[in-house]
Structure 1
Amino acid sequence: MKNPQLPLHFQVSNDLRKRLQSGEWGIGELFPTDKELMKAYGVSSTTVRRSVDEMVREGWLERKPGKGTFIKKQYVETLGKLTGFFDQVREKGYEPSSKLIRVDQVEISEFEDLGLEVFKTKKVFLIEKIQLMDNTPVVLVKSFWPVFVGKKLSEHDLVRRGTYEVAQQELGIRLEEAHQDIYATLAGPEEANKLGISEGAAMLVMQRVVYSQGKPYEVSLNYYRADRYRYRVLLNNDTIEFENGIIAEEK
């Protein structure tokens, strides 16, 4: 494992993060002791403590005095691949589901500053839902589609199946690329209530436009709990790489 070009604690942290993401340990499970990690990685106690401290700061682990270190949570992670929340959560070995809030035809004028003008029409179809991972709310989604597509989507089970999955497998729509912006915000009363978090809690917002054959098929606004979601980009000197991973995203 050792790479002389990278600090040891960095290498250990990266490996532990991958093991956590793979589901090697479950939430609430006791994490290996420092001595066990020292033996497994062949490093000093200082290196192990630094690595574990980093995982605690990132929210993966939780120290309980007198009891040990425990797995705190799992994340949903989207890393440059146009897949839905359901696919990402399943890849992590967890159970995805949705709670439908609103499924209806709406006027574009009802939703300002969301870029819905890209549809070049006055009405669109809204699918608003809460996405859950093992029954824990992760993301509030407001997903807008052309009316004829949205109506067909609404005929399917959108509680147990992802919208992208239905669009591609049942309607034959090949979602080819997306343009998206990601930014930080604080939870307002609506987001806090629907996601079960405190008002003012940190959130990530993803605003996305999805295309098929050069035409816009979906505009979505996704409010993610910052404690359950990450977006990771891998960089080097020559290229930018996206690695698919759920610290779980969808439709």
Structure 2
Amino acid sequence: MKYSIDHKSPVPLHIQAEELLRKMIAEEKYQNGKLLPNEVELAKVLAISRTTLRQAINKLVYENLLIRKKRTGTKVNNAIVSSKSNNWLSFSQEMKLRGISIKNFELHITWVYPDEMLANFFEIKTDRKILKMERVRGTVETPFVYFISYFHPRIGLTGDEDFKRPLYELLELEYSTVASLSKEEISAHAADDVIAAKLRLSNGSPVLFRKRFVFDQGERPIEYNLGYYKADSFVYTVESRR
């Protein structure tokens, strides 16, 4: 296959590069763990910058279609291509796939000192401030989830970002931080005064409580997320294969 990009096309170069990479992924010669051409070589062939190429590669790494390792290279993630059971998405992306329009009822950004638990998770000291984001989201008619997220200061977030965008897309494209591993804990809770007010529930109403621990490709912590869902508005589905 001859690789080329149309520099006269109105389609952005990184989008063209992304589509070309998707075609490369499907080629037999890149299956079974064989590395893709290195970034320097491929960028030269396509006559684009490494930054543009890296943006396209990051997108496919985010989708778990590619695996990139330092000093090794980039290769097709055959395990994920053959099965979607391990895929996970941001809330915005998941709702979009379900055809649900999402409304942000509240969005609050603050800088806080982490307690000992958060500091231990992020492997930082308690005197180093971290960004805290609170969001109440739901359908156009009513809220059904309250999120609290804390982010590692390593990422470089300022608090001025457009957090209406899909979160992990923003982290990847703006800060080259790819969320590649999620560990979760799910339990049942009774809504306290704060949760009840946020979700328009009666105090003590049942809510689905989910903790999500998010890590980058090097398995370094990047986000600690708490989610409180209306019990009658959300079903959490887990699919497993053997």
TM-score (norm 1): 0.56
Instruction: Summarize the alignment of residues 145-224 of structure 1 with structure 2, pairs less than 5 Å apart.
Output: 145-149=151-155, 151-152=157-158, 154-158=159-163, 160-212=164-216, 213-224=218-229
Structure 2 counterpart of 1:165, which letter? E
For these two proteins, the number of residue pairs brought into alignment is 154
Tell me by how many angstroms 1:185 deviates.
Answer: 0.6
1:86 aligned residue: 92
Structure 2: gaps (5+ residues):
1-84
Correspondence 1:92-111 to 2 at 5 A: 92-109=98-115
CA distance in 2, matches of 1:86, 1:95: 9
* Equivalent-residue separation in structure 2 for 1:91 and 1:214 (angstroms): 27
What is the correspondence of 1:221-232 to structure 2 with a 5 Å cutoff?
Answer: 221-232=226-237
Identity score, percent: 24
Structure 1 residues 168, 182: CA separation in 2 closer, same or farther (over 3 Å shift)?
same
Distance 1:149 1:200, change over 3 A: same
Matching residue's letter, 2:146: L
Distance 1:133 1:94, change over 3 A: same
Q: Which amino acid aligns with 1:156?
A: E
Taking a change above 3 Å as real, the CA distance of residues 166 and 135 of structure 1, as seen in their structure-2 partners, is farther
Counterparts of 1:179 and 1:226 in 2: how far apart (Å)? 21
Query: Root-mean-square deviation (CA), in Å?
Result: 2.2
Matched residue type, 2:93: D
Unaligned stretches of 5+ in structure 1? 1-78, 240-251
8 Å contact from structure 2 (residues 156, 175) kept in 1: no
C-alpha separation in 2, matches of 1:133 and 1:171: 29
Q: Does structure 1 retain, via aligned residues, the 8 Å contact 2:105–2:143?
A: no
Report the alpha carbon displacement of residue 233 of structure 1 after superposing the two structures with TM. Answer: 2.5
The change in CA–CA distance for 1:224 and 1:116 in structure 2 (over 3 A counts) is farther
- Farther off after superposition, 225-234 or 196-205: 225-234
The CA deviation at 1:204 is 0.7
Superposed displacement of residue 148, structure 1: 4.8
